[in-house]
Each structure stands twice: as structure tokens, then as C-alpha cells.
Amino acid sequence: MAAREDIAEVAAPRVGGLTFPAWQRLLTVGVLIVGLAIPLFVRNFTVFQLTLVMIYAIAILGLNLLTGINGQFSLGHSAFYAIGAYTTAILMDRFGVPYALTLPVAGVICLIAGFLFGLPALRLEGLYLALATFALAVATPQLLKLSLFERWTGGVQGIVIVKPDPPFGLPLSQDQWLYYFTLAVLVVMFAAAARLISSRTGRALKAIRDNPLAAKAMGIDTALYKSLAFGVSALYTGVAGALGAIVIQFVAPDSFTFFLAVSFLVGMVVGGVGSIPGALIGGAFIMFVPNLAEQVSKGLAWAVYGVILILVIYVMPTGAAGFVRLVAGRVARVVSSNR
């Protein structure tokens, strides 16, 4: 886990006259332009799917802030996703709050929920933490079904919400509008995550990940930071859940099972633990690969999915981000040694 330094930070080899960070920026702008253009050229259903990819990416990024940056595991992020989704659904359905305003509320509620869950979780490490969060994931759908809360949650039936129309009479379909709306949220949240990681707080979080004892000795309040990491992580995933509710127009307990938490974990590992852009790749993976597997074989879809997953891990044991870094490092070395 030690060799996670960005190659770009260690040395700045130039490839094609540009440094690694410059390439990254160029690539970011390129991806953004493509992202802006895509919905104008593809079917509404594809737009809808791509919106979901972005939503998953935000959720995975949330998990990544916890695991990749702070070194804590969670198999329970489906719970925060659910809390975000239900917050939005209840606010829209029962209280008539406009959808955009529900996002910050969902975020704050999840921040608090995550922070509170993070406090007791402080005592747990590694596998034990994974188990405690696993418990959270399994308990969530059951709690949502509880008749006690049925007045708000709609019990097993869940809540159906109305799909928002584009504002200001924009000439867009509902799906296209939600795509752009999600894209905007994603850009803000990804940028914020990048800022967070390179800030003082981010360094403290990484120090805790790499050596908790030393971090403590350096005067970092590990308890506070670890709970905070849980809170922020939950905030991201909660906002993703809120967006998910709006886009899918429906929430129900069984959409937020342990399976969802596992998907986030898979997405994170496939994209690359600790990588921000990797979250997008992870989001795309958990969105499209199950469908792909189903096309290969209907009856054995999940077996095919498992095989694909194993192959991906074999080819890229440290995820897509690690793979890209490895290849980029090789290229840089070859280029610089040819000079």
C-alpha cells in the first residue's frame, strides 16, 4: 500500500513536451467537452444510463475518500446512498421541496449520519470495521421496511416521485436535463474532492492511513479526522443517492441492499483505490458490465460477470488508475531514455 505516490509528484517526466499534470489537465478538459456533447447525439435511454454512471461515480468517489485516502473499509455505503435517496424522496413527495434543494439537505444529513457512525467505528479496524459496516448495509433495507416508519417511507412499496422538467424552457428532454444537472454536481464534487485531498486535511487523512501511530504522535487528532472522513464520505454517497432517486423516480427498500454496497466496492477497486478519475471508470463498470454479461448468457449472467471481474483484477491488480499509472510510467521512461 506504500507505493501509491503519484508518479507525477515524484518526478515530472515530459511526454510529447508536456508534463504528466499537464497531460492530466488536458485530458480532463477533453473528457469534459465530450461529456457535454454526448447527450446531444445518443438515445434518451443511453443518456439515462450515462447519468447513472455519473451518479455511481460520485458514490464510489465517496467510498474512495474513506478507503483510498483514509484507509478505512466500508461495506455499508449502500446505507448512506439509501439515506440520501430517501431524504430526497420524502422531501419531494411529502413536503413538496424542489429537487435541487433536496441535495444539500441529503448531503448534510448523510454527513451527520456518517460522522455519528464513524465515532463508534473508530474502535474498529480492517476486517472488524468491514463487518460492522456490512451489518449496516444488511440492516438498512429491513429498517426501511419497518412499519414504524411507513408513514414516511411508504414501507415495502417505497415512494414514487415525479421526474423534473428542464427549467427556463430549455429545449432539452427530461433525461438530457437531468444528465447536465448531474454532470454539474459531479464536476463540483470531483473538484472539491481534489482540493480536499491536496489540502492540509487531506494530508492528515493520508498520514492516518499510512501510519496511525506516527500520525497521532505528530499531533493529528486521529479520532476527529477518521470520523470526519466517514462523514464526508457519507456526504458524497448520500448526494449520489439523492440524485439516483430523482433520476430513477423511485425509491424502495430493496434497491438498497448489501448488493449495492458490494457494487460500490467493486467499482472502487476496478477504477483504482484512491483515484478520483478512477471513480468514473468504476461507475461505468458497475453500470454496463452486468448488462454486458447478460448479453453473453442470460442464465449464467452472474457467472460471466464474475469471470470478467476476475480477469480485470488479473490484468489490473491495482485497478484502472494503477494500470494507467504503470503504463504512463513505462512510456515516460522509454521516452526519456530514448532521448
Partner 1 sequence: MELFLHQLLAGIATGGIYACMALAVVMIYQSIDHFNFAQGEMAMFSTYIAWQLLAWGWPYWGAFAATVALSFIGGVVIERTLFKPIRNAPVLSHIVVFIAMFSILNSVAGFTWEYTIKSFPSPFPSEPLFGNRLISAHDLGMIGITVVLLVLLYVLFRHTRLGLAMRAAAANPESARLVGIRVGWMVALGWGLAAAIGAIAGMMIAPIVFLEPNMMLGILLYGLAGAVVGGLTSPVGAVIGGFAVGIVENLAGTFIPVIGKELKLTIALVLIVAVLMIKPSGLFGRTAVSRV
Which residues of this chain interact with partner 1, rule CB under 8 A? 1, 67, 73, 120, 123-125, 127-128, 130-132, 135-136, 138-139, 142-143, 145-146, 148, 262, 265-266, 268-270, 273, 299-303, 305-307, 309-310, 313-314, 317-319
Cα–Cα distance for residue pair 219/205, rounded to 1 Å: 13
> Among candidates 322, 319, 299, which has minimal Cα distance to 309?
319
DSSP 169: G
In this complex, which beta carbon is closest to partner 1, that of residue 83 or of residue 185? 83
Q: Taking the complex as a whole, how short is the minimal distance between the CB of residue 125 and partner 1, in angstroms?
A: 8
Burial of 324 from C-beta contacts in 10 A (0-12 / 13-18 / 19+) = middle
**φ and ψ of 14, to 5 deg:** -95, 135
Q: Taking the complex as a whole, how short is the minimal distance between the CB of residue 177 and partner 1, in angstroms?
A: 35
Q: Taking the complex as a whole, how short is the minimal distance between the CB of residue 305 and partner 1, in angstroms?
A: 6
In this complex, which beta carbon is closest to partner 1, that of residue 239 or of residue 269? 269
Q: Taking the complex as a whole, how short is the minimal distance between the CB of residue 267 and partner 1, in angstroms?
A: 10
In this complex, which beta carbon is closest to partner 1, that of residue 105 or of residue 301? 301
CA dihedral 179, 181, 186, 191 (to 10 degrees): 140
In this complex, which beta carbon is closest to partner 1, that of residue 189 or of residue 316? 316
Cα–Cα distance for residue pair 85/186, rounded to 1 Å: 16
In this complex, which beta carbon is closest to partner 1, that of residue 22 or of residue 135? 135
In this complex, which beta carbon is closest to partner 1, that of residue 91 or of residue 270? 270
Paired residues of 91 in beta bridges? none
Which distant-in-sequence residues (6+ apart) come within 8 Å of 125 by Cβ? Answer: none
Q: Taking the complex as a whole, how short is the minimal distance between the CB of residue 230 and partner 1, in angstroms?
A: 14
Cα–Cα distance for residue pair 247/185, rounded to 1 Å: 13
Q: Taking the complex as a whole, how short is the minimal distance between the CB of residue 86 and partner 1, in angstroms?
A: 17
Cell of 47: 443518456
Q: Taking the complex as a whole, how short is the minimal distance between the CB of residue 250 and partner 1, in angstroms?
A: 22
Largest CA distance in the chain: 71
Cα–Cα distance for residue pair 69/267, rounded to 1 Å: 16
Angle at 178 between CA 251 and CA 301, to 5 degrees: 55
DSSP 332: H
In this complex, which beta carbon is closest to partner 1, that of residue 310 or of residue 331? 310
